Amino acid sequence: MLGYIVHRILIMIPTLIAISLVIFTIINLPPGDYFSTYIAELQSSGEAADLAKIHFLQTQYGFDRPLWEQYLFWVGGLLRGDMGYSFAYNLPVNQVVGDRLLMTFIVSFTTILFTYIVAFPIGVYSATHQYSWTDHVLTLLGFLGLATPSFLLALVLLYLANVYFGISIGGLMDPRYVNQPWSLPKALSLAAHLWIPVVVIGTAGTASMIRRLRANLLDELQKQYVVTARAKGLHPFKLLFKYPLRMALNPFISDIGSLLPHVISGAAIVSVVMSLPTTGPMLLDALRSQDMYLAGSFLVFMAFLTVIGVFVSDLALAVLDPRIRLQAGRRQ
């Protein structure tokens, strides 16, 4: 087991190097750099750019150097914990990202909770009552949630919330609380705004989770050990929770791997539509304007979390499921 863990950790290093190379290449593929995009943007809106200052920045940040040199410079910074400099914000990347991480975390964490709380009972119910009319109704709802484009749902809910509840459009709190220290009214305002993004981002995830839980559980429910246990007169609830449900949970644990980066990145499109102060819109913006250190460092950070997440979920699976643990042991 220890050898396995060490092996896994060592293999992360080439993975991350490869990812950083790919990220850097892709960001640099479109013609031009941040400054030429910025100049073009200003000029198209009729504003003349301060060319002298831009020229100054270009040489300061080595945009006239060959690409490999720029890459090494960037990666070297990353190793020292320096994520580089964001040109759009004129600030070190750490400071730009810092503020938004908390908000993203709040939104994503609430969304995951919402998904679990809604999806679990429904999934279990529709598996145990397969093809009953309640199953059909819940399934239909689930499919609706899966099929509705989330940005559309976001717009409709925003409008309704504004007209009927007077909640300001977009954002995570009333504008007057932004930049204020935390207080009870601020937290309440956050709660009043939070439900829309949570419902919108959550619906799609909820629907797919219901379907997966239902399918997994149905597989298990038909197995012989369930029939045997039932024949021996085990209480239906105890039976369900102690055996088949536990078996059906494996896919959720392996999901943790993708969950971790998701908590940080948030749902980009919905966040853009609702103008949430999360990291999603920031990343999108950085990619569009080729703010390369901001986009690159953030993506590498997410890749790092994914790698860690997959590692953790593999370990958790091994701990929880003796079959996996034993097989892995046998192979070595």
Site for other proteins in 165-194 (CB under 8 A): 166, 168-171, 174-176, 178-180
Answer whether 88's CB lies under 8 Å from 291's CB.
yes
Type and span of the H or E element at 88: none
81-115: b (≥16 Cβ within 10 Å) or e: eebbbbbbeeebbeebbeebeebbebbbebbbebb
- Of 183 and 258, nearer to other proteins (C-beta) is 183
Choice from 50, 102, 222, 329 touching other proteins (CB under 8 A): 50
What x-and-dash track marks residues 78-117 binding other proteins by CB under 8 A?
----x--x--xxxxx--xx--x------------------
Identify the residue whose tokens are 């759009």. Answer: 88
Under rule CB under 8 A, residue 69 binds other proteins: no
User: In the chain, helix, strand, coil percent, each to 5?
Assistant: 80, 0, 20
Question: Please, what is the minimum distance in Å from the beta carbon of residue 264 to other proteins?
Answer: 17
- Of 36 and 208, nearer to other proteins (C-beta) is 36
Question: Please, what is the minimum distance in Å from the beta carbon of residue 55 to other proteins?
Answer: 6
Residues contacting other proteins: total by CB under 8 A: 53
Type and span of the H or E element at 91: strand 91-92
- Of 36 and 254, nearer to other proteins (C-beta) is 36
Question: Please, what is the minimum distance in Å from the beta carbon of residue 162 to other proteins?
Answer: 5
Answer whether 275's CB lies under 8 Å from 331's CB.
no
What x-and-dash track marks residues 113-152 binding other proteins by CB under 8 A?
----------------------------------------
Answer whether 232's CB lies under 8 Å from 225's CB.
no
Under rule CB under 8 A, residue 255 binds other proteins: no
Answer whether 299's CB lies under 8 Å from 265's CB.
no
Under rule CB under 8 A, residue 51 binds other proteins: yes
What is the SS3 string spanning 280-322? HHHHHHHHHCCCHHHHHHHHHHHHHHHHHHHHHHHHHHHHHCH
End-to-end CA distance of the chain: 9
CA-based torsion, 324, 325, 328, 330: positive or negative: negative
Q: Which stretch binds other proteins (CB under 8 A): 14-22, 25-33, 132-140, 198-206?
A: 25-33
What does the alpha-carbon distance between residue 139 and residue 151 come to, in Å, rounded to a whole number?
A: 22
Choice from 31, 81, 181, 233 touching other proteins (CB under 8 A): 31
What does the alpha-carbon distance between residue 92 and residue 99 come to, in Å, rounded to a whole number?
A: 12
- State the burial class of residue 186 (Cβ atoms within 10 Å of its Cβ: 0-12, 13-18, 19+): middle
Question: Please, what is the minimum distance in Å from the beta carbon of residue 22 to other proteins?
Answer: 21
Identify the residue whose tokens are 């290093």. Answer: 13
Under rule CB under 8 A, residue 219 binds other proteins: no
Q: Which stretch binds other proteins (CB under 8 A): 65-73, 228-236, 275-283, 299-307?
A: 275-283
Choice from 123, 145, 277, 280 touching other proteins (CB under 8 A): 277
Under rule CB under 8 A, residue 29 binds other proteins: no
Question: Please, what is the minimum distance in Å from the beta carbon of residue 76 to other proteins?
Answer: 15
Question: Please, what is the minimum distance in Å from the beta carbon of residue 208 to other proteins?
Answer: 27
- Contact residues toward other proteins (CB under 8 A) are 30-32, 36-37, 40-41, 43-48, 50-53, 55-57, 59-60, 82, 85, 88-92, 95-96, 99, 158-159, 162, 166, 168-171, 174-176, 178-180, 272-275, 277, 281, 285
